[in-house]
């Protein structure tokens, strides 16, 4: 199993595994499902902002915004997600 590290030390597992804190955060409503998908595209699959924007039919600025705001929310709730 390969673990990827998001900014702030959040763990993210490979495609074949549930995506760790990101999956749990989306299930708990801490981030939206579309934001979780954008995070997966950028941090798990390694897409550039431009590629992720095309995949999710949004601007590159929106991709950056969703990643930034979602990672901030994940950091704020990290202790809730760990327990």
What is the tens place of the pLDDT at every residue in 16-73?
444 577 888 888 899 999 999 999 898 888 899 999 999 999 999 999 999 999 988 8
Domain ranges of the chain: 3-82
Q: At what angle do helices 20-27 and 60-76 cross, to 10 degrees?
A: 90
Whole-angstrom distance, CA of residue 38 vs CA of residue 55: 9
- Of residues 81 and 68, which shows the higher confidence score? 68
Q: Is-above-0.85 flag for pTM?
A: no
Whole-angstrom distance, CA of residue 19 vs CA of residue 6: 11
What is the reported pLDDT for 4?
53
Do the beta carbons of residue 70 and residue 38 sit within 8 Å? yes
Architecture of domain 3-82: Orthogonal Bundle (1.10)
């Amino acid at each position: 199993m390969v673990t990827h590290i998001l900014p702030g030390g959040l763990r993210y597992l490979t495609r074949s595994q549930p995506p760790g804190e990101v999956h749990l955060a989306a299930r708990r409503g801490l981030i939206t499902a579309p934001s979780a998908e954008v995070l997966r595209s950028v941090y798990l699959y390694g897409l550039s902002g431009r590629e992720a924007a095309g995949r999710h039919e949004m601007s590159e600025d929106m991709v950056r915004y969703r990643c930034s705001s979602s990672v901030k929310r994940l950091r704020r709730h990290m202790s809730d997600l760990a327990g």
